[in-house]
Amino acid sequence: MKKQQPDWSSIFNYLKHTVSKEIARQKKSLIVALLFTLIFFSSFFWENLDRSEHLEFPLQKNQSYACLLHRIIDGDTIVADCDASQKQRINIRIWGMDAPEMK
Where does residue 39 rank: exposed (0-12), middle (13-18), buried (19+ CB within 10 A)? Answer: exposed
65 Cβ neighbours under 8 A, 6+ residues apart: 57, 59, 82
Backbone angles phi, psi at 82, to 5 degrees: -105, -15
Q: Which pLDDT score is estimated for 36? A: 92
pTM: 0.37
Question: What is the mean pLDDT of each successive set of 10 residues along the chain, which is 103 residues long?
Answer: 74 83 84 91 73 66 83 85 74 77 62
